[in-house]
Structure 1
Amino acid sequence: MTATLEPSAAHATADAAVTLSGVHKVFGHGAAAVSALDGLDLRVAPGEFVCLLGASGCGKSTLLNLVAGLDAPTSGTIALTTSRPAVMFQEAALMPWLTAARNVELPLRLAGLKRGPRRQKAGELLDLVRLGGAGHKRPHELSGGMRQRVALARALASTLGSAEEGTPGLLLMDEPFAALDAITRDVLQAELVRVWRETGNAILFVTHDVREAVRLGQRVVLLSSRPGRVVREWDTTRGDEATLIDDITSHLREVISGHAAA
């Protein structure tokens, strides 16, 4: 038996790392306007790992951009307990002229941390993602999986200011492992769970892979086809994994079919 939740029912009374209330996002004007999100409500608790699923174009990446402050909602509110959500994309997007360590140092440098402390922090974060011996290498000298580990360490560096202020960190991850081969992806999924448990950051993770969502997330949230809104949620800490995967896949197919027919 699977454990499903009513939309926005989970953690309704808990403090939140981020809360989206009635969020609408419209691109363009007049007849050319496209509604990406329609009254979306979502709450992520401090330290919670939430995975977002939905058809292509349903607004998952738009949602992350809004939470990251890269764009503004047309209406509705987004409340954060951290002023520094960190974003990790499908591409590592490392600075090719900088070493791995210097890439990790970059957000610390921008935050005004002095050279000695930031080098120490960068070294600690590279150790955390098991790249302690690769700090001197440049991105072209690293495998795809190693580059994503560096990107993860850099994202974690971006959350350190919040941690020092006593507020929870928040990682926004937009299909970060999609371009990797299956073996590397499996390894990095396990590594991400380990790092998440060690850091206590909240994570909002976008994926198209139901198995990945169930494996990683404590909660899986399904968005409708465009315009996106939360239509169903699953608590992955209860119930059989195979049954969860089947149930989520069935509902995702319904959403995708509805999107294709629209």
Structure 2
Amino acid sequence: MTATLDTPTAQSDTAAAVTLSGVRKSFGHGAHAVTALDGVDLRVAPGEFVCLLGASGCGKSTLLNLVAGLDQPTAGSIELTTSRPAVMFQEAALMPWLTAARNVELPLRLAGLKRGPRRAKASELLSLVRLAEAGGKRPHELSGGMRQRVALARALASTLGSAEDGTPGLLLMDEPFAALDAITRDVLQAELVRVWRETSTAILFVTHDVREAVRLGQRVVLLSSRPGRVVREWSTAGVGGAADEAELISDVTAHLREVISGHAAA
């Protein structure tokens, strides 16, 4: 069976891909200030796959932006053991004038990697996401699912580049499959798990889909409604089959509904 925790797990002293301690984020000032996150404690171990779940507006995307360095916390601290986490969004956001291979090369080029090695790395990563034959195509020639695979390869180019000195890679994913049809989403979920296992990259994956969180993550973390705090965690290590998965999905869904109901009643 799965392990459930009513309160967040204690933070250990071992190295982590990212550690958030007492993170608070407010927008605006004075009486008009809005607090999106308040007192978030979260640790993602090297190579761990963590899914972050919560109601709309609970601060999931804000938390990812803080970890990515796109914004700064109002209070608390964020410690990274990788200097260059990569972010993957709902939209692939590929450069339309570049081929798939050149899109994957872009972060390597910005990192100063010479042409030969970066082309070899881009080819390797496209093969990893099963797009070895698509390197010469531009985004408009690819399906939505293929564009997301290219975006994944490009994100991995950044994280693997930061991992070459021995530090763990970190991939931040903000509902990357939400805009895809159900069949394509299922395929890409399976592909993501395969790529994660092959690369050992730590992943912090934001979703509003309980089933997706349970199927992908080693750990599911639930945020409260605004201001977001970690209120519960589940390990998926004990999921042994369809019955266990269904039970865990039901339990997570029930607690998510409590969070949403509590927010609506406030």
Give the structure-1-normalised TM-score.
Answer: 0.98
CA offsets per residue over residues 146-184 of structure 1, 9 Å max, x none? 000000000000112222110000000000000000000
**Residue pair 2:170, 2:203 contacting (<8 A) in 1 also:** yes
Aligned partner of 2:225 in structure 1 is 225
Distance 2:41 2:87 in 1: 21
The CA RMSD over aligned residues, in Å, is 1.1
Aligned partner of 1:140 in structure 2 is 140
Pair 1:55–1:213, CA change in 2 (3 A): same
Q: Name the count of aligned residue pairs.
A: 262
Q: Where do residues 87-166 of structure 1 align in structure 2 (5 Å cutoff)?
A: 87-166=87-166
In the alignment, residue 159 of structure 1 is paired with which amino acid?
T
Aligned partner of 2:251 in structure 1 is 247
Tell whether 2:256 aligns with 1:256.
no
Question: How far is 1:7 from its partner?
Answer: 3.6
In the alignment, residue 15 of structure 2 is paired with which amino acid?
D
Aligned partner of 1:49 in structure 2 is 49
Aligned partner of 2:185 in structure 1 is 185
Aligned partner of 2:201 in structure 1 is 201
* Residue segments in structure 2 that go unaligned for 5+ positions in a row: none
What SS does structure 2 have at the residue aligned with 1:260? helix
Aligned partner of 2:64 in structure 1 is 64
Pair 1:233–1:53, CA change in 2 (3 A): same
* Residue segments in structure 1 that go unaligned for 5+ positions in a row: none
Distance 2:251 2:13 in 1: 27
CA offsets per residue over residues 92-147 of structure 1, 9 Å max, x none? 00000000000000000000001111000000000000000000000000000000
Distance 2:55 2:265 in 1: 12
Distance 1:79 1:97 in 2: 36
In the alignment, residue 246 of structure 1 is paired with which amino acid?
S
Aligned partner of 2:83 in structure 1 is 83
Distance 2:238 2:10 in 1: 13
In the alignment, residue 81 of structure 1 is paired with which amino acid?
T
Aligned partner of 1:214 in structure 2 is 214
Pair 1:183–1:218, CA change in 2 (3 A): same
Aligned partner of 1:32 in structure 2 is 32
Distance 2:143 2:115 in 1: 27
Distance 2:118 2:228 in 1: 40
